[in-house]
Amino acid sequence: MVAVGLPEPTRAAARRPRNVRGRRAAGRILPLVPALALLALFFLGPILWCVYASFTDVALTGATASTPHLVGLRNYRQMLHDPQFRQSLWLTVVFVLGSAVIGQNVGGMVLALLMKSRRRIARAVVGAIVVGAWVTPELVAGFVWYAFLSDDGTLNAILHAVGLHGKSWLYATPLLAVTLANIWRGTAFSMLVYSAALSNVPDDLLEAAAVDGASAFARLRHITLPLMRRAVMTNLMTITLQTLAVFTLIFVMTGGGPGTKTQTLPVYMYQSAFKFYQLGYGAALAIVLLAVGGVFSVVYLRMMREDV
Amino acid sequence: MTTATRSAPRLSTTAPRRRSAAAAAYLVLGLIALAFLVPFAWLFLSSVSEHATLDTSVPDHLTLRNFADVLTGDNLHALVNSLVLSLGSAVLTLVLAAPAAYPLSRYTRRFGRPILLILLFATGLPITAILVPVYGLFVQLDLLDSIPATILFLTATGLPMAIWLMKNFMDEVPISLEEAAWVDGASGLRALLRIVLPLMLPGTAVVFTFTFALTWGNFFVPFILLVDPAKQPASVVIFQYFGLHGTASYGLLAAFSILYSMPVVVLYTVVQRVLGNAFALSGAVKG
């Protein structure tokens, strides 16, 4: 597929007559065609089908699997009256706010600030440990945290050793459990982004402020953070979108349970489509998930626009 | 955690205060690092323990039997499946993304902007949501259990980000170098292959690693699209080990998890060593 000849860019193109320029532009798009075709087939196509399916009663098995009927807005109306949907939307909001916006974001910032101007060896060791959690496949992270928080798991053993009483964390505080696990897994990304952004904050500016008597907190608030604003916004957008799509971690740790206590939108979508075979309803849930992601993505796009 | 930074000295110009602030920072860093490390303990201890359970205890004597036992023919086959999926999608991604990024990098003004914006938009969409319709598509086209089709889908999911990254790395290669080649009569493709790609080899390595790791770690996509046990990758097979709750297979689960994590950990380490963190991120997050 690479064999598609790439056009020669030339500066003279601007001076050529219109039709020649048009042909040149077409030639220039040519190398993009294979990639765009694949995206259309496996990205755009499914999304369009998803929109269509969300208006039908298509099921995974049974009569409606082969001959689905258009049911109009029934799936969406059902959604509005579905307490499980409302709950899953709420859980998703709490999960994203707790683990991405607060946990990963603040945690990453704190780590980056603490690591700045520390000894190289300390940065290397702490960095390696935190990044290690990030590099670990999501599935394994799920196992690790399942074991860590289980009844006779490591956390309870530690608590017991210092004379405290443990809990059945995965049953008593399941949402907190998956949130903590996702913070553990995702903080490295924010840390790397913020470390890179921090290294661009000029030291002499901070030193001058310190000489003028600005406290460390004042320097952070009035110099460092304003200079990192763009990095913070970009990072917040990225981790929000990533967390919105988290499925495996929750699926492994709690399976959405106990009951439906950790059934975020992706998990509920999976349950509806693949467990209860309501593909149409699952598609409608997918549309909602896509729409939420789409809204965030547009905001993200607006922020990145100047760079394109 | 925030209190530590905030309680940093008000006047850090005096040496003793600065030193105590540094000590506090090291202490907090140490505690955070420990908190990040402790959950791993179970994984490593159980993998070398004879009778592993969910509790973390140092085994009486260390054994590598779990690792030996987990390396059965079926499990190796699953790892090979993972390799086929990951290599397949990583190579295909590069083959598609490099030529696609070239015009986007070189002629942005004319037509590239809308395409770049669409690609950027697509990188933000939750892939998880697309899996329901993709499943429907695979059923209708009779593509379930097809490894090549799964590779194509995995490639499509990673492609927007890959093209975007490639374009950013390509922007760093000065166009004047290609102009010299065109004068010598080289075609655009030749210039891309001979001049641009070799100069952006680090960027290409980042995109490759990124795509490979993404596919290797992916559980949901093969879990839905590959039903035949003989075609499932390691992620899905390990999950089935996990499904055997209550049975004494935790040692095997831990050992298999470590073996399965190893390739991506090694790949990340190598790329990070060779290229450095800052570089790997420079393309991913601009600004």
Closest CA–CA distance from residue B136 to any residue of chain A (Å): 8
Task: Please give the DSSP secondary-structure letter assigned to residue A70.
Answer: B
Which residues in chain A have Cβ-Cβ distances shorter than 8 Å to B123?
A: 297
Residues of chain B with pLDDT under 50: 1-12, 278-280, 282-287
pLDDT score of A164 more than 80: yes
Q: A272: which 2 tokens?
A: 């509806």
Which residues in chain B have Cβ-Cβ distances shorter than 8 Å to A132?
A: 36, 40, 265
pTM for this model (two decimals)? 0.87
Q: Which domains, from first to last, does chain B contain?
A: 66-276 (1.10.3720.10)
- CB-based contact B43:B257 (threshold 8 Å): yes
Provide the pLDDT confidence category of residue A14 given band limits of 50, 70 and 90: very low
Interface membership of B2 toward A (CB under 8 Å):
yes
Which residues in chain B have Cβ-Cβ distances shorter than 8 Å to A3?
A: 189
Query: Which pLDDT does position B287 carry in this prediction?
Result: 31
- CB-based contact A64:A145 (threshold 8 Å): no
Closest CA–CA distance from residue B250 to any residue of chain A (Å): 10
A residues 257..276 contacting B (CB < 8 A): 266, 269, 273-274
CA dihedral B101, B102, B106, B112 (to 10 degrees): -40
Choose from B11, B128, B134 for mutation: most chain A CBs within 10 A.
B128
> Cis ω on the peptide bond leading into residue A258 (within 30° of 0)?
yes
A residues 63..102 contacting B (CB < 8 A): none
- Name beta bridge partners: A70: A56
Per the prediction, chain A carries an average pLDDT of 86
CA distance B101 to B283: 13
Q: A46: which 2 tokens?
A: 């499914």
- CB-based contact A264:A246 (threshold 8 Å): yes
Query: Which pLDDT does position A24 carry in this prediction?
Result: 65
CA dihedral B197, B203, B208, B209 (to 10 degrees): 160
Better-scored residue on pLDDT, A140 or A29: A140
Contact A147 B220 (CB under 8 A): no
CA distance B157 to A200: 32
Interface membership of A124 toward B (CB under 8 Å):
no
Closest CA–CA distance from residue A208 to any residue of chain B (Å): 11
Which residues in chain A have Cβ-Cβ distances shorter than 8 Å to B103?
A: 6-7, 28-29, 31-32
Query: Which pLDDT does position A19 carry in this prediction?
Result: 61
Tell whether the torsion through CA atoms of B228, B230, B234 and B238 is positive or negative.
positive
- Interface predicted TM-score (ipTM) of this complex, two decimals: 0.87
CA distances from A169 to A57, A250, B245 (A): 39, 14, 18
Query: Which pLDDT does position A23 carry in this prediction?
Result: 64
Tell whether the torsion through CA atoms of A98, A101, A104 and A105 is positive or negative.
negative
CA angle in degrees (0–180, nearest 5) for A124-A125-A131? 85
Picking from B116, B254, B257, the nearest residue to A308 by CB comes out as B116
B residues 174..213 contacting A (CB < 8 A): 175, 178, 182, 187-189, 191-192, 213
Q: B235: which 2 tokens?
A: 């992620």
Hey, how many other C-beta atoms are within 10 angstroms of the C-beta on A217? 13
Cα B127 off chain centre by: 15
Residue appearing with tokens 């206590």: A261
pLDDT score of A146 more than 90: yes
What are the phi and psi torsion angles at A153 (to 5°)? -80, 180
CA distance B140 to B143: 8
Separate counts of helices (H) and strands (E) for chain B: 15, 0
Interface membership of B141 toward A (CB under 8 Å):
no
Q: Which domains, from first to last, does chain A contain?
A: 75-304 (1.10.3720.10)
Interface membership of A12 toward B (CB under 8 Å):
no
Query: Which pLDDT does position A12 carry in this prediction?
Result: 44
Q: Please choose, from the candidates A148, A296, A137, the residue with its C-alpha nearest in 3D space to the C-alpha of residue B36.
A: A148
B residues 69..88 contacting A (CB < 8 A): none
Better-scored residue on pLDDT, B121 or A6: B121
Residues A182-206 pLDDT 10s: 999 999 999 999 998 998 888 888 8
Query: Which pLDDT does position B124 carry in this prediction?
Result: 85
- Name beta bridge partners: A56: A70
Query: Which pLDDT does position A50 carry in this prediction?
Result: 87
Residues A240-299 pLDDT 10s: 999 999 999 999 999 988 989 999 999 999 999 888 888 888 989 999 999 998 888 888
Picking from A140, A273, A289, the nearest residue to B257 by CB comes out as A140
Provide the pLDDT confidence category of residue A141 given band limits of 50, 70 and 90: very high
Interface membership of B59 toward A (CB under 8 Å):
no
Provide the pLDDT confidence category of residue A307 given band limits of 50, 70 and 90: low
Query: Which pLDDT does position A52 carry in this prediction?
Result: 87
Query: Which pLDDT does position A306 carry in this prediction?
Result: 60
Task: Please give the DSSP secondary-structure letter assigned to residue A9.
Answer: P
Contact B130 A46 (CB under 8 A): yes
Task: Please give the DSSP secondary-structure letter assigned to residue B146.
Answer: -
First to last CA, chain B: 26
Which residues in chain B have Cβ-Cβ distances shorter than 8 Å to A55?
A: none
Interface membership of A7 toward B (CB under 8 Å):
yes
Query: Which pLDDT does position B51 carry in this prediction?
Result: 77
Look at residue A71 and give its three-state secondary structure: coil
Look at residue A276 and give its three-state secondary structure: coil
Q: Please choose, from the candidates B114, B277, B91, B57, the residue with its C-alpha nearest in 3D space to the C-alpha of residue A147.
A: B57
Q: Please choose, from the candidates B211, B264, B221, B210, the residue with its C-alpha nearest in 3D space to the C-alpha of residue B127.
A: B221
Separate counts of helices (H) and strands (E) for chain A: 19, 0
Task: Please give the DSSP secondary-structure letter assigned to residue A7.
Answer: P
Look at residue A56 and give its three-state secondary structure: strand
Interface membership of A168 toward B (CB under 8 Å):
no
Residues A29-69 pLDDT 10s: 788 899 999 999 998 999 998 888 888 887 766 666 667 88
